[in-house]
Amino acid sequence: MAKPLKVDEVWLERIAGLLDNMEFGSLHIVVHEGQIVQMERTERKRFENAPARHSGEAGSRRPDTRAAGRG
């Protein structure tokens, strides 16, 4: 029979602290024998509207070389 999970005010504050200011991500809570034993926070940062590194090459990592050396 599974033991009931024990979550007191201290654990609620720890969980809330890990979730605070998280915009994109997850919180993984590991429970062993009815007690929280580990928490893992994975956070993602998303950058939209990032300026292009080179003018005219927005989103491209290398210049187009398909026609180079052909003639």
Neighbour-count burial of 11, counting CB atoms closer than 10 A to its CB (0-12 exposed, 13-18 middle, 19+ buried): middle
Does the residue 62 lie in any domain? no
Does the residue 13 lie in any domain? yes
pTM of the prediction?
Answer: 0.58
Does the residue 55 lie in any domain? no
Long-range contacts of 35-38 (CB under 8 A, 24+ apart): 35/5, 35/6, 36/5, 36/6, 36/7, 36/11
* Res 50: pLDDT: 67
Number of compact structural domains in the chain: 1
Does the residue 37 lie in any domain? yes
Does the pLDDT at position 63 exceed 80?
no
Does the residue 61 lie in any domain? no
Domain range holding 25? 9-44
pLDDT digits (tens, 9 = 90+) for 21-59: 999 999 999 999 889 999 999 999 888 886 766 655 555
Of residues 3 and 11, the one with the higher pLDDT is 11
